[in-house]
Structure 1
Amino acid sequence: MEWPVLLASTARLLDLHDSDRTAGGGIYSPDERRRGAGTGIWLDVGTRLLQYLYERDLESNEAWIPLEGIISELIQLHDVTREDIIFVANHLATPTRLITLRDSENGALQRQIYKRETALLEWPKNTNRRDRCRLSASGTRAVLLSQAAQNWLYAANDAGKLERAIDYGAYADVPQLAEGLISQIRRFSKEITLLLERQHLEDLLSDFAEHRDDYMKVITEVQNSVEVASELFNTKQVKEQYSRWLETEGGISFTPYTITQSFTEILQAIERLSRKFQKLVSVLASSKREVIGLVRFDLAAVGLAFHPCSESITELCIAALGPWATEITAPSPLDFSGVLSLQQEEDSKTILVFDDEAVDELPSLIERFLSSYREEILSQLRIGPVPLSLAVEKGWLTVEDFDALPQLIGVYASPEWLDDTNSELAVTVAANALDVQLPDGSHLEGDDLILHWLRSHS
């Protein structure tokens, strides 16, 4: 943990927050003296307590973490009492008031107050016991920020930290980087656990939709980085370099299997996260939800005409959708259609331009396709059925150097394009019969579409 790095970057910001300066005052240097004895004991007790709670939470996943272990350790380390440590914990659990300014929608500065978010610990409610507590969301974030400040060497690309460390020969950093990645994986695993503990499914769906990309990114990027780093480490050149490094700088804490063990631990953490992720998806998939499909408003109108709803519902609808001012004496001619909107409705970007000059529009690609191949396709139909695979072999795929495969498939989807004389054209499907190579090298396989007449034609 590099708590000094995190604290040093925020100390002066808090000083500015607590400053009693009035606008328009003179320029002077900030006071270098800080309140308190300045021994650093209580800050060390606080940071060690936060780190202890974070590690125990990852190991045990309990609702509340007992404090006896860390209390004994801190009493021996700093020669303090149990009351001193409870004082520090209570200090971290007490919210304080922070005031910031932010831009509002109208452009003016708006004051924003934070209080509850400043508490780093939580005590059990409805009890005066002080033998167990846990990190708040802000406390967990503080520990993670201290971890992020620990090593900025590879911060440009989190997914490639292990690969870069091995590529640079910084083998001593690999276990530390592995620990950081494992911590990140466990954090997401903990979030999934919290989601699974939710009682209301709608909250579960909302949170999952918000964090789904984060879960997938952690799983894929970390796994890819480990695989790439492992492949790089197992090359002959890197193996020899690592052996020389072990002899000169490795020390007693490193063995030939230290790096490999780090990779293994990350992959195990990914596996556990994947299982947790699959469980979350399973819960979502197996839960029964009320789904409203497409609403046929025309049928609803007919139904209401023959079976009117009760007067109470009618009055409620009129109050919600009817005229809201005395000036409005009648509904809109559009019959309230203006209040209905589609969720996926998009604004039209079409701009009307009026020009006195006539514009000769080119025929569409489907029109050019039919102009080029209609007679050839009809001639082939008089011989027999025309599968899509046969059409591909005959080269009905391009029109004036344009790719016409979508237009060809469109003919099979709407065979009436070929003949508008009400002749009975039909399409059948041959399961898994399509297996052709396209001229561009791509492969087309699946169900083959077969175009044919319903009656014989000469």
Structure 2
Amino acid sequence: MDWIPLIASTARLIDLHDSHRESGRSTSQYDLYREARGGNHDGLWLDVALTVIEYLRERESEVVGGFVSGTEVRESLQKRITNLSDEDVKFVLSALTTPAEIWFVERMDNGTRPINSTKETNLIERSRTADAYRLASTGRTAAGLAANVRDIAYIAGSAKNLLTAIKARDFWKITELAAAIIDVLRTFRLEIESHREGSQKAGIQGFFKERGDVIKEQIEDAAKILVEANEFLSLQSTRAEFQIWIAAMDRAGKPSFGHGYAKEHLKNVTGQTLKLLESFTQLVNESLTMDESALSPVSFIDLSASLAAKSFQDSFYFSLISSFGPTRLRQIMPCPFDFFGVVEPQRGIDNREEDEDSEGIEDTGIKGIGFIAEHGSAILAELRKGPLTLTDALEREWIGLETDTSNLSELVGTYCDPTMLGEDLNIVVRFGDGRATYAAEGVGRLSFDELVMVLESK
């Protein structure tokens, strides 16, 4: 197990949790940023603690939820760590079995942020009737995180978990598990890039020599499993089960998402996995031989152009891309599936004049306010009649994709932040079922996940 990244990632968070600083006060009097921590600086007690957790995890399959005697724990540790006394083991076991209350802000779906706490922080549980121990739920979680579950060499297992969740009708897990797989893929690329940036050619050669075959096999297996998951999610029976799940979540007042959104999410994961599989050999070769970065940022414009069915005038091209954000993506090697179908342009005549300030810079904030001033009352009127989909909003011409005006970002922004229509209104936005398409004559076609805005009574 690789514990150090897990511990390193939480050290400063614990510092902040334990801080006595009051909000608004100067930070100079608080030594939060010290590089040297207290203690003996020999790592002994941390090593003993991690060894205890690993030993109890090894024994779980034997005891099947039961406890391991304290004598067995001590004897095992003393075999693994020399000069360890019984008192040393008792000291560590006492620390690991004692809960420490932590306080946190809970982020509720209704926007409130109440303060909450938990004492489920003990990593090991001691029997009430004997000197015996087993992993607590928190310890089991920590051991799982340290067992490289987000390592690229375990991606097939992650894909299998996603397939199992779909077959078990645990649809709410789809986005969480899919995001974990994407994180594995991008972390792998970042890991290779970090080796290359540090000119650690020998290290990268050793990395691929030791793990290259295993990693490629795992990616191949993951791709097959994800294709199967896509097929299973597309079944009519699964679609019906999905609708039942959505209805149950609505009755419980819990958030959900449409079947179409789940399919697109899974398609995205599958696409990124297949893309990595296709480029794996090239990625290895480039990482070992090229002097310049093989994983340089990808131009949004170039990538969109390569996917577009037809080209169109540059002036409209840049104005449309600017509505979606920056023209270059800084994350490492985004997959084309991230953008496929977002914009499918056609050639058209562009006489549009940009709204600019005195310095020639378009003021999107002013445009957003202007959009609400022009269309806000009409949007509210439709909301009071019933749910309003993004498709309905487009068809009511609250956005102009023609040559004289374009309010795409302002309209979508209203769905992203409906409080723009009135902070006292209880407006919620949900994903619809599937993808929708909107076509504008002479310009092209927009393809997007359907959004539904609903005005609910308080």
Shared fold (TM-score greater than 0.5)? Answer: no
Give the TM-score normalised by the residue count of structure 1.
0.34
Largest Rg, 1 or 2: 1
